[in-house]
Every structure is written in C-alpha cells, then in structure tokens.
Structure 1
Amino acid sequence: MRLLLLLVSVTIAQALVRVPLMRSKSLRRRLQENGRLGDLLARVPDLYRKYTPEDQEAVTEPLVNYMDNEYFGSISIGTPPQEFSVVFDTGSANLWVPSASCSSMACSNHRRFNPQLSSTLQSTDETVSISYGTGSMKGALVYDTVRVGSIVTTKQGLILSESESFFLYYSHFDGILGLGYPSLSVSGTAPVFDNMWSEGLIPEDIFSVYLSRGDNSAVVFGGIDDSHYSGRLHWVPVTHQRFWQITIDSITLNDQVYACQDGCQAIVDTGTSVIAGNPEAIGQIQKDIGAVADVYGLYHVTCDHIGSLPDMTITIDGMKYTVPAAAYISQVSGSCSSGFQTTSGPWILGDIFIREYFVAFDRSNNRVGFALAVKS
C-alpha cells in the first residue's frame, strides 16, 4: 500500500486563516511582479551589477530521491544551525518544519526545531494554519537564519509546526520549502527564494529543477545547469503569478484528445508526485489504460501491459511533450499503479512530467522553460 500517494494534494488546497498585515512593496518588487524587472536590469548595467555581483555563482542543492515519489534536500535553520530535510515545492510558498513543542504523532519521527537553542531567532505572537487536501498543520510564525547550501538568508519568515495531521507521519521529509510566488504565502512573509534574490545572494532571479530516477537530482538556485538537458529550453509565459501556472493546448493519447481541447490551465508542481486533472478526463484515461481502483482508491494496471500502453502527449505553446507509459506507470515490488489522479483545480504537472523534462523557473521574466531531461 503506497500511502505516500496521499501527499499528492499537499500543495493545492491551501487556506489562510489569518489576515496578514499590509506591507508596502518596494520598487523592485513592483517591477518584478509586473514582469518588467528583467528588462530593466538588462537596460541598466549598473543596476544589474548591484543585484548580481560578478563573483557570484549559482548554487546547486542535491536532492534525495525516495522511490520516485518524494524528492527532498537538506537545509539548516538557526544559530547554531539545526538541519532538516525539506521538499523544494513550487506549489506552495512557505517554509515550515516541526517545532520541538509539537506533540502530534506526525512530528514524533521527524527532526524538530528547538527555538531555545537559536541565538538568532525572533519570535512573534502570530499563529498560522495551512489546510491541505488530506490534512493540515498549525504553528508559530518566527524569523531566523536559513541556509540552503552556501546561501544564507537572514530574518527569514518560517512556520514552526505545533500540530500536524497524521498523514505527514508517513513522509520521509521533515518539512516543506515553498518556491511559489509571494502571493501564495499564507503568512504574508517573503518566500526563501525571494529573499535570496532581494538580498543579492544569487546571480539571477531564476531557479531550475532536475528530477531523475537516479541519485543526481538537484535544484539550482540562481541559474541553469545545461548538463541536465538536451536541446534548447522552450519558454512559456506564466499566466497567473501565484502558482507556476501555464496554458496547455491539449492532452492526447493515441491521437485522441482527452482534455484541454480548447486549452486549459496547469500548474508545474515539484511537490506533487503525479499528473492530476479533472475527474472526467482522468476517469476516461484510467479506463482506457486498464487501470482498476483498489479499496484505497489507488489505480493499478497489469505490469505485463505497460509495453502496449499509449504515450501521453501534452502540447504546450505548440510544442509536444511526450510522457511514455513507462513514466506514468509506477512499478514497486511487482505491483504497477497509475500515476494519474483527479483534482478540482487546474491540471497539475508533477514529478512524473518533470522527470521527463528539465524545468527552469524564471521570475524576472515570469516564464517557465522546458527541455528534454538527460536520463540517468
């Protein structure tokens, strides 16, 4: 039983239960949110040098691959640093880890942050709750130093969870580091990546993700590692600056359109393991690939049939992206399960898709780039 698939809904159904204080935006942030910062930096070299020192380099954060279902890396929080494993999640925008005061079962088998041991921690009296499709967490908003590789952000807003739903007990990571847009932050604090850029810690306002079936997956902060893909990146615009949301032209199998015939919206989400879509389309796909639901709602196929199943083709901005059956069917201990699930919102292009296609997330120009990932 692959209970870890319950985590698929983690990054979509988020609810804010507090109203953040209104803060005035800097000129840089307003330009960035309006998609004009990249053009300004290109036109004004001195301003570009201010934000991108010549000796700066992109920083690569290695990721652990757990059964092609979770990808997570190491960060540290506080002074002296306390280490945690987190999912670098483009489908959310907050950083949270368990607190030492958390008494939930889900916290019992994960590392917990002890605020009393950090000399740089700044506490607040604010409590933040985040609701997910399969559970929730609640905790205290604090500020502290956060380290990702060699990048050190100071006064970073984060949540120390004091209660968590039981489903997180089965996760192999401690917390989540959101890489979505600031408007997605439920606490009203700037995401970690935004602080990396605003504090001048990375050379470009961009990060990229390479997920493999091997042991060399990574997130690159401040640049693109072209050794992880072949060909050229194809850039598409972000349609709504909250999630990394784009437009899909169509989704087909065997040249038959199953969804998005007239176009639809999709989220590129590193925090979701599957490809998810509207119930009608996903239901028809499951039926046509011979997937049958078990008592837990997971869909299984006969492993011997994988070689005869059709490729899925996702067309984005005129480019066709093929996802073969060997990618969308998961094989674990002789059991084969479908990598498609339903969602009530936009389609979700999760890890199944990202393992096939390297992805770059460009905040300066508000666009997402795709290229064929190098297999490892």
Structure 2
Amino acid sequence: MAHFQFLVGILILLSALADGSLHRIPLHRSPNFKRTREAIVAEQLYVDHKYNLNTTANGFPMEQLSNFNNFQYYGNISIGTPGQVFSVQFDTGSANLWVPSAQCSSPACVQHKLYYSNMSSTFQSNGSVFDITYLEGTVAGFMSQDLVSVAGLRGVLQTFGEVTTETGTNFLNSSFDGILGMAFPPLAVNLVTPFFQNLYHHKLVQQPVFSFLLRNNGTTASYGGELILGGSDPALYRGQLTYVTVSNPEYWQFVTDSIQMGNTVISRGSAAIADTGTSLLLAPLAQYTQIAGIFKVNSLGYFRCRKISSWPTLNFRISGVSFKVPPQNYILQEGAYCTLAIVSSNQEFWILGDVFLGLYYTIFDVGNQRLGFANVNSTGSTLGQMGVFTMLLSFILLKLWVH
C-alpha cells in the first residue's frame, strides 16, 4: 500500500508539471539576423509606416509590412486537410493571418511555401479582396477559409489572406512565409476575427491568454523562445508579474508611469505598445531628441563609443515597478562609433520591440485586456521541466527496482 501511495503521489506531481492546458510553439530566429545601423534605419522607416494605419485608395484598411534582415521571430502553423505547414511571424502589432497563394508568381512567393486550396478537403471560398500596403510595395489577394492548427490544437476554421501579388523585394529573403497577427479585432483587415480570438471562441484554449518568451541572447541560436497559447508558464519568469491595463484595445497599448535615461526623466505618462513584430525601441520624436542629446548622436545616428556599461540604464516605470533596459541591450558598437537601437517615431507613443520584450516575459491577457510583465528566468524552460520529469521517472523506477 505504501508503494502504491508513493507512486500515486509522484504521478500527481508529474501531471501538474505536464499542464495540458498550455499549448507551446517553439520560436526561431533567422540565422541571417544581424543588427547594423543600416538595418536599424530601415526598420525605423518600416515601423513608422506600420503604425500609420489609413485606408488605401480602394477603401481597404492597410497595414505596413516589410522585412529587415530577418529580425523577426517565427514558428510553424498548419493550414488545410491534410495540413500544409507554413512558417509565420507571430506579430502582436497586427491582426490578420496571410500566406502566399499557389496563384502567386511574384519572386517572393515563389521562394516560399505556397497554399494550394485545391489540395485541401476543408477549404472554403470567401473571395473578398484585400490590399496591404507596406514600405516599397504591396501584397494583395483574396480571403479564404480553411482549418488552421498550431501546437497540437485541433484545427479551427479561420478566414485568412491568400497573397496573389507581391511587389517589391521585402519578403524575398525572409525566413518566414507569412504573418499571423495577434492584436485586437478592430485592427484586422476586413474585420476578420483574429486567429487567437477564434481559438478561444471555439474553446480550443482554456484561457483567453497567450504569452511570449523571446530569447535575444545571440544572433544565430535556432531557439528563439516560445509562444504559449492558453496561459503562461511560471517556470519561464521569476518574481511577481506586473499587470497594466490596455488603454487602446486595437494594439497592445498601455500607459507608462515614467521613462528615464539614467537620472534624466524623458517622459511621464507616455503610451507604449508591446510589439513582437518589431526589433527596436521607437520613441516619439521629441523624446528621442532628448535621448540623442545625452549621447551626442550625430546626423548619421552615430556617437563616440566608450565602455558600453558606463552609459546609463533606460528605465520604464510601469504600474509602479521599474523595468530596466541596460545599455548593452540598446547600444550597438561599430568600430570606434556606437549607434542606438532606440530611434525616433512619428507617433506619439513608444513602440517596445524585442530590445525590451527579450528581457521580460510578457503575458497578453485578451480576456481582461491587460499586459503582464516579469523578469525572464534565464534557467527556466520547458527543457528544464523535462529534466525534472526525467529525474522523477528515474527515481520511480529506482524505488520499484529496490523494492
């Protein structure tokens, strides 16, 4: 009886570790990633356009998209029956899913995986057209419906874009095939229900919550972190979560208490957006100008280097808690000169890309329209949990063998 109770106790513990309500998607970073001044300037232009959402000439909403040295994080999804696998960028700064169509002959489409509707038994025609404008080109096509699955979840019927025309070369060398937007419904082209909201509506995830761990240490590591659908994993962060209410439920936008560069107050009460589809930190022009003055940044975006650790820490105060970005994370050295991974924006809000999000585990609580931040646990990972599982299983076998 004692042996039985021991075994039951261990099995309960193992069951708690293997939480089936969490659906994990491994994220990857492109091996081509390299942050340079040129890439920073290009991305700055991209983000400025991305957040200038207007309507195109034919009346359709547009979202600015582009690719800059493949800085994005991406993972796999499956569309159709049988499943056709695509690598997509999981982007909290947009709200639509789109992939290249088999009807697209543009160079960027030909070099990526194409969706073949005639090979899927679950395809449903939609036919409404869309036109998405991005820097130096456009993607255009039509909407379709098919089963979309990810992380072992049963497929959900999702409306998505089939790109049939791509102008420009922005996606030509990208490591991903398409975009999966994770912002709020009002931001979606054609008011399509975003994928995650669709999953929750069909009760395929238990909680209306998803969370990101973005690894930003190293530029060629294949493991870029993970996206968890349906909740969060305390093993991936340390300390308490700090929550802040979403102030504009289109983007994942919130209000900061203050932002400081060292002892210099840059702003009080500035809005900020958590954007997993952006690499940099973007500040409103007036606030960037103040920061640039501290570093004596020249007209080309460079300043004289000294020991990077001697520069001040950037401090975002959110819901009464300080979230610090050390200079090693926001300064890039190029020979005798340095440049900032902080750039100016035409918007009146900050945009927090992976320079910030790579330091902090981030929970996107759709149901309560709030964000949660906590320090990344550098030792916590699903691999760590598997190690615990292995140790416990070995211990069980040892106990049974001894007795």
TM-score normalised by structure 2 residue count = 0.74
**2:317 maps to what in 1?**
315
Deviation readout 1:61-117 (Å, 9 max, x if unpaired): xxxxx9892211111111121111111111111001111222333323222222222
- State the alpha-carbon separation in 2 of the partners of residues 270 and 111 from structure 1: 23
Pairing of 1:97-112 with structure 2 (within 5 A): 97-112=99-114
1:196 to 2:196 alignment: no
Answer whether contact 1:99 1:160 (CA < 8 A) is retained.
Answer: yes
1:177 to 2:177 alignment: no
**1:269 maps to what in 2?**
275
The verdict on how the C-alpha distance between 1:335 and 1:126 changes in structure 2, with shifts beyond 3 A counting, is farther
Aligned partner (choices 345, 354, 361) of residue 364 of structure 2: 361
SS in 2 for 1:152: coil
- State the alpha-carbon separation in 2 of the partners of residues 332 and 105 from structure 1: 33
| Alpha-carbon distance, 1:4 to partner | 5.2
**1:371 maps to what in 2?**
374
Q: Which moved more, 1:320-329 or 1:334-343?
A: 334-343
Answer whether contact 1:141 1:158 (CA < 8 A) is retained.
Answer: yes
What are structure 1's unaligned runs of at least 5 residues? 21-65
- State the alpha-carbon separation in 2 of the partners of residues 105 and 337 from structure 1: 33
- State the alpha-carbon separation in 2 of the partners of residues 69 and 177 from structure 1: 16
Answer whether contact 2:73 2:224 (CA < 8 A) is retained.
Answer: no
Answer whether contact 2:278 2:354 (CA < 8 A) is retained.
Answer: yes
1:222 to 2:226 alignment: no
- State the alpha-carbon separation in 1 of the partners of residues 87 and 338 from structure 2: 28
**1:237 maps to what in 2?**
245
Q: Tell me the matched-pair count.
A: 325
The verdict on how the C-alpha distance between 1:87 and 1:190 changes in structure 2, with shifts beyond 3 A counting, is same
- State the alpha-carbon separation in 2 of the partners of residues 86 and 266 from structure 1: 25
- State the alpha-carbon separation in 2 of the partners of residues 255 and 340 from structure 1: 18
| Alpha-carbon distance, 1:332 to partner | 8.2
| Alpha-carbon distance, 1:334 to partner | 10
Aligned partner (choices 208, 211, 220) of residue 208 of structure 1: 211
| Alpha-carbon distance, 1:160 to partner | 1.0
Identity of aligned residues (%): 35
Answer whether contact 1:208 1:221 (CA < 8 A) is retained.
Answer: yes
The verdict on how the C-alpha distance between 1:127 and 1:328 changes in structure 2, with shifts beyond 3 A counting, is same
Answer whether contact 2:100 2:178 (CA < 8 A) is retained.
Answer: yes
Answer whether contact 2:156 2:199 (CA < 8 A) is retained.
Answer: no
Aligned partner (choices 1, 8, 12) of residue 51 of structure 2: 12
SS in 1 for 2:176: coil
SS in 1 for 2:355: helix
- State the alpha-carbon separation in 2 of the partners of residues 363 and 141 from structure 1: 25
Matched AA of 2:376: A
Deviation readout 1:193-237 (Å, 9 max, x if unpaired): 011101111111100011113525011000101111110101111
Matched AA of 1:203: Q
Q: Which moved more, 1:315-324 or 1:334-343?
A: 334-343
The verdict on how the C-alpha distance between 1:78 and 1:368 changes in structure 2, with shifts beyond 3 A counting, is same
| Alpha-carbon distance, 1:336 to partner | 5.4
Answer whether contact 1:153 1:199 (CA < 8 A) is retained.
Answer: no
Structure exhibiting the larger radius of gyration computed from Cα positions = 2
Q: Which moved more, 1:73-82 or 1:324-333?
A: 324-333
- State the alpha-carbon separation in 2 of the partners of residues 163 and 332 from structure 1: 38
- State the alpha-carbon separation in 1 of the partners of residues 299 and 328 from structure 2: 19
Matched AA of 2:202: E
SS in 2 for 1:283: helix
- State the alpha-carbon separation in 2 of the partners of residues 181 and 293 from structure 1: 37
The verdict on how the C-alpha distance between 1:149 and 1:223 changes in structure 2, with shifts beyond 3 A counting, is same
Matched AA of 2:265: V
Pairing of 1:1-376 with structure 2 (within 5 A): 5=40, 6-7=42-43, 8-9=46-47, 11-17=50-56, 69-133=71-135, 135-164=137-166, 165-213=168-216, 215=223, 217-258=225-266, 260-261=267-268, 263-292=269-298, 294=300, 299-300=301-302, 304-330=306-332, 337-345=339-347, 346-375=349-378
- State the alpha-carbon separation in 2 of the partners of residues 204 and 301 from structure 1: 47
- State the alpha-carbon separation in 1 of the partners of residues 317 and 100 from structure 2: 40
SS in 2 for 1:106: helix
Matched AA of 1:224: S
Deviation readout 1:224-281 (Å, 9 max, x if unpaired): 01111110101111111111110012211121112x33x1211111111111111222
Matched AA of 1:83: V
Answer whether contact 2:76 2:86 (CA < 8 A) is retained.
Answer: yes
**1:62 maps to what in 2?**
none
The verdict on how the C-alpha distance between 1:140 and 1:340 changes in structure 2, with shifts beyond 3 A counting, is same
SS in 2 for 1:79: coil
RMSD across aligned positions (CA)? 2.6
- State the alpha-carbon separation in 2 of the partners of residues 232 and 174 from structure 1: 36
- State the alpha-carbon separation in 1 of the partners of residues 224 and 234 from structure 2: 14
SS in 2 for 1:103: coil
- State the alpha-carbon separation in 1 of the partners of residues 341 and 157 from structure 2: 39
